[in-house]
Structure 1
Amino acid sequence: MGGRYGDVPLRCRAVAAAIVAGKGEAARILALRRAGEVAGGAWGLVTGSIEPGETAIAAIAREIAEETGIEATELFASGLTETFYFGPDNVLELMPIFVILVPAPVAVRLDHGSDQFRWCDRAEAADLFSFAGQRRALADIWHDFVDRAPAPFRRLL
């Protein structure tokens, strides 16, 4: 997917998801630490690429299963995107952020893309997340999915 904003192309080739467990004071969000050459050591949400012919919804459900072993049974649109400039290609990357709700922290099975995980409260996640867009999204995700029930129109699965 792509477009233009002035002289800088827009591109959407990846997705992200916040996996939120529980409600209220007991709520936790899953943070993953990336492994490998690209952003190795950075903490953040589940992220991954959209494969050719794949929708963003299918991509994030697949990525969650691959990266964590968690099945996306309650998938929501957050209404948020992480936006960043990718210099080598001179493009603005747009990454939609989805939300997965699970009743409580569940077992996580990491793939090769991450080497650590933590179930964090909001303050821990804000301190831990390496990417500014994900830190900013955290407040809205907490407001719309932890502090209250998500609006029905947001539900995708």
Structure 2
Amino acid sequence: MGNRYGDVPLRCRAVAAAIIAGTGPAAKILALRRAGEVAGGAWGFVTGSIEPGETATEAVRREIAEETGIRAAALYTSGLTETFYFAPDNVVELMPIFVTFVAQEVPVVLDHGSDAFEWCTRERALSLFSFAGQRRAVSDIWHDFVERPPAPFRAVP
């Protein structure tokens, strides 16, 4: 696939992360509420920009730490991307979604990009998340990472 879809450019300049606490029926997923002018009030995954010279995995580890204070140990690719049209630049944005785990719900230290957080059940996340692509991702992530252990090929360095 090239860097265009018809006459609309494709761009990947950000990453997202699902953080899962616990396992099995007791598992929860972290939701953050965005602050500020861009999508302020929207609930969703940890998200952030890829800085010059960074790989996507370096960016997602940094963003998790900056936005939540959580250090991602094991990191997995979900195999999913959030895809949306960004009208101001006339581009289709592709944002790879990664997954990491913590043993239990841990305290979250928010940075300036978010003003609230909640550890959610799957059902609560589906009702709370503002973006359709992230809601669809929650269902797939739950199936592939909560209801069964992640496949080894999903691990990323």
8 Å CA contact retained: 1:33, 1:44: yes
- Aligned partner of 1:98 in structure 2 is 98
Work out the CA distance in 2 between the residues paired with 1:92 and 1:35.
23
- After TM superposition, give the deviation of residue 12 of structure 1 in Å: 0.1
The one-letter code matched in structure 1 to 2:121 is D
- Aligned partner of 1:152 in structure 2 is 152
Q: CA RMSD in A?
A: 0.8
- Aligned partner of 1:128 in structure 2 is 128
The correspondence of residues 8-87 of structure 1 with structure 2, limited to 5 A, is 8-87=8-87
Runs of 4+ in 1 over 4 A off after TM superposition: none
- After TM superposition, give the deviation of residue 6 of structure 1 in Å: 1.1
Work out the CA distance in 2 between the residues paired with 1:140 and 1:18.
11
The one-letter code matched in structure 1 to 2:147 is D
Moved more, 2-11 or 17-26: 2-11
Q: In the alignment, is residue 140 of structure 1 matched against residue 131 of structure 2?
A: no
Structure 2 spans left out of the alignment, 5+ residues: none
- Which string of whole-angstrom CA distances, capped at 9 and with x for unpartnered residues, describes residues 2-54 of structure 1? 81111110000000000001111100000000000100000000000000111
Q: Normalized against structure 2, the TM-score is what? A: 0.98
The one-letter code matched in structure 2 to 1:39 is A
8 Å CA contact retained: 1:74, 1:102: no
